[in-house]
């Protein structure tokens, strides 16, 4: 059985998908982009600001599901430019500070939704 998860204060989906799904004790959060849920605007400042907003969006959805970033087991980071890896990593490290940060893949992609520079998805424990 699966259950759709939405965060009341989270960024709305930009397509026909669930923000997150709960199944078999796991929370699967769809890729989030740097969309500010308060303004509805895309954060287009530095890559650090974009990563920060994206991780805040993930955090909001996980908390709505009764989980947290501390319970993340796998992240995938999509970057428009792998030259941004170090800057992304600096911000990312501040959100995953425990002894066992999630497994992660980081890839460069040709394009991301809304022309953003970063998208991140996560799988977490309930």
What average pLDDT does the structure give for the chain? Answer: 95
Q: Which of 36, 43, 44 is nearest to 60 (CA)?
A: 36
| Domains identified in the chain and CATH numbers | 2-125 (3.30.1330.40)
pLDDT band at 10 (very low <50, low <70, confident <90, very high): confident
pLDDT of 1 over the 80 cut: yes
pLDDT digits (tens, 9 = 90+) for 14-33: 778 899 999 999 999 999 99
The pTM of the full predicted model, rounded to 2 decimals, is 0.95
| 107/72 Cα distance (integer angstroms) | 19
pLDDT of 48 over the 80 cut: yes
């Amino acid at each position: 059985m699966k259950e759709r998860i939405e965060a009341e204060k989270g960024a709305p989906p930009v397509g026909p998908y669930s923000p997150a799904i709960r199944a078999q004790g796991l929370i699967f959060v769809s890729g989030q982009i740097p969309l500010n849920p308060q303004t509805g605007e895309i954060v287009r400042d530095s890559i650090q600001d974009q990563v920060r907003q994206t991780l805040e969006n993930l955090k909001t959805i996980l908390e709505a599901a009764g989980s947290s970033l501390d319970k993340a087991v796998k992240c995938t980071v999509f970057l428009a430019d792998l030259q941004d890896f170090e800057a992304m990593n600096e911000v990312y490290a501040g959100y995953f500070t425990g002894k066992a940060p999630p497994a992660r893949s980081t890839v460069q992609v040709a394009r991301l939704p809304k022309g953003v520079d970063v998208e991140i998805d996560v799988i977490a424990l309930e």
